[in-house]
Amino acid sequence: MALLTRTLEEASEQIRMNRSAKYNLEKDLKDKFVALTIDDICFSLNNNSPNIRYSENAVRIEPNSVSLEDWLDFSSTNVEKADKQRNNSLMLKALVDRILSQTANDLCKQCDVVDTAFKNGLKDTKDARDKLADHLAKVMEEIASQEKNITALEKAILDQEGPAKVAHTRLETRTHRPNVELCRDVAQYRLMKEVQEITHNVARLKETLAQAQAELKGLHRRQLALQEEIQVKENTIYIDEVLCMQMRKSIPLRDGEDHGVWAGGLRPDAVC
């Protein structure tokens, strides 16, 4: 960057010098053209030419006139200065071409590095997305399995209502046995044990049901989190692959370039 900045400053100064040399050459050329036109007129005059006349103090030396040596030196100096600036421009142009070529190569290499980074990043992101999708599929299977399990548990609890009601009804009915028949016999104890077992089984089923429902809620939370993560990955892939990569491909090559190589030379419309 420092070299580019310094070269740009040198180029700007060289352009200024070129314009100065161009101005001096054009002015000198213009003056010579006027002088040549005047000498041509003088050369064409003869004794019969119209508008010839006497002029007062015609034989004089203009105070601002220069000697022949000065005239030759002035013209030679302008040409030499112009040649010098031209040579300086050619050397600076060669330097600029080298810098631009190196810059183009560096940019091309950096472009390849960035493209590779994009491709690797996209591959990693897609791999992560696919792993998340696989995990989401397993979570969905677990959700479906847990929902079936909950349905089975709810049915099992519901199925205990009939036997529980029968056992309770039997116990209640047997309390109406008369007198000594109200005996704590084996059937009484078996009915009491049956009610206890059914109550214990229902409590255990309800506890298992609560655990299953809690696990199902956790699975649903995990499902939402995975779907959100997958959406984030999809958005990242869209930005990198569709927006950024297409934007990079849409950048046109510059004039005179082949695969990012600087062809050198000045543009036709370059102003010196």
Number of domains in the chain: 1
Q: Does residue 92 belong to any structural domain of this protein? A: yes
**Residue 6 binned pLDDT confidence (cut-offs 50, 70, 90):** confident
Give the closest residue to 241 by CA, choosing from 120, 131, 112.
Answer: 120
Cα 182 from Cα 173, distance rounded (Å):
11
Q: Does residue 38 belong to any structural domain of this protein? A: yes
Q: Does residue 269 belong to any structural domain of this protein? A: no
Q: What are the start-end ranges of the H helices in 160-251? A: 161-174, 186-237, 245-249
Give the tens place of pLDDT for each residue, 213-271: 999 999 999 999 999 999 999 999 999 888 888 887 766 555 444 444 444 444 434 33
Q: Does residue 59 belong to any structural domain of this protein? A: no
Q: Does residue 67 belong to any structural domain of this protein? A: no
- Percent of the residues in the chain that have a pLDDT greater than 70, as a whole number: 91
Q: Is the pTM of this model over 0.75?
A: no
Q: Does residue 125 belong to any structural domain of this protein? A: yes
Domain hosting residue 28, numbered range: 1-43+73-250
- Percent of the residues in the chain that have a pLDDT greater than 90, as a whole number: 51
Give the tens place of pLDDT for each residue, 66-125: 888 988 888 899 899 899 999 999 998 898 898 888 888 888 888 889 889 989 999 999
Q: Does residue 159 belong to any structural domain of this protein? A: yes
Q: Does residue 263 belong to any structural domain of this protein? A: no
Cα 235 from Cα 42, distance rounded (Å):
86
Q: Is 57 helix (H, G, I), strand (E, B) or coil?
A: coil
Assess contact for 182 and 175: CB atoms under 8 A: yes
